[in-house]
Amino acid sequence: MGQGFCGRCGAPLAPGAAFCGVCRTPVAPVSVASYQQYAYPYPYAQPQAPRIGGARSTQIAVAAGLVVILVIVAIGVAFLAYRAVSGSHKTCTANCSPKVITPLPAAATYRSSAFKFEVDYSDTWTVRSQDANGVTLGTKLGLVSVEGMKAGQSSDQVIQRVVSALPSASWQSVTLVSSLRGAHLGDVDGLGQVYSANLIGSNSKAAAVRFVVITATKGSVTVVVFAVDPADPTHFAHGMPEGVLFDYMCTVFRWAS
């Protein structure tokens, strides 16, 4: 843009005139530099590069949070499963499967010289009688006997013979309660039956009892286990308070090799 008046004579200048129309003095143009000294510079903002490292850190933090959540959920599920397995359960009272039993802290051993089998029992029990064929033991609450014989009869016949041989004057109201699931002697499966009865003592008083007869055969040898306890069907499997110890005897039973 040209100046409005001549710098020499003061005459007004026509727009875009190169010379003054009165004195013919050249019109001095306004330089860009002289104009820029009065302008206010506004620098452009520099574009910023994307923060790749920050986004990656955010993704790592999110992934770590998910892992922590999954670990907490897994721990919770494992705890609930443990509670479900180890929670209180009703005591088995009939057709109970064999239990895994902790060995006795101290045990004695009977060895049959006639049939070569061995059986461990609590050393707190007393030996009532023993011979080459078997042993009879007095337990804390009852009685247990282990007897060997030559094989010949079936397991059912052996059990019936043992039950029938009980003197009726002492063993009254003998009743079959249940078959013993998983009956065994050592590594040989057998047959077992649980009975209830009233046992008449020397004082002529009757006591309710439970007894079990277990028999198994290996080769030419049959072994019979007879055990009796005071009846307590409310708190113990098959109503026998020492049933776990009797089961232990059967588990550690060892046949002749």
52-57 CB contacts, 8 Å cutoff, 24+ apart: none
Is pLDDT at 40 greater than 50 in this prediction? Answer: no
Contact 137/243 with Cβ under 8 angstroms? no
Tokens 């009254």 correspond to what residue? 172
Q: How confident is the model at residue 39 (pLDDT cuts 50, 70, 90)?
A: very low
End-to-end CA distance of the chain: 126
Q: What is the pLDDT of residue 2?
A: 46
Q: What is the DSSP string of 40-85?
A: ---PPPPPPPP-HHHHHHHHHHHHHHHHHHHHHHHHHHHHHHHHHH
User: Tell me: the pLDDT tens digits for 46-60?
Assistant: 555 555 555 566 677
pTM of the model: 0.60
Sorted by where each starts, the structural domains of the chain and their CATH numbers stand as 1-41 (no CATH), 107-251 (3.40.1000.10)
Q: Phi and psi for 82 in degrees, rounded to 5?
A: -65, -40
Contact 105/124 with Cβ under 8 angstroms? no
Is pLDDT at 100 greater than 90 in this prediction? Answer: no
Q: What is the pLDDT of residue 74?
A: 67
Least confident of 54-63, 78-87, 93-102: 93-102
Nearest to 159 by CA among 209, 207, 225: 225
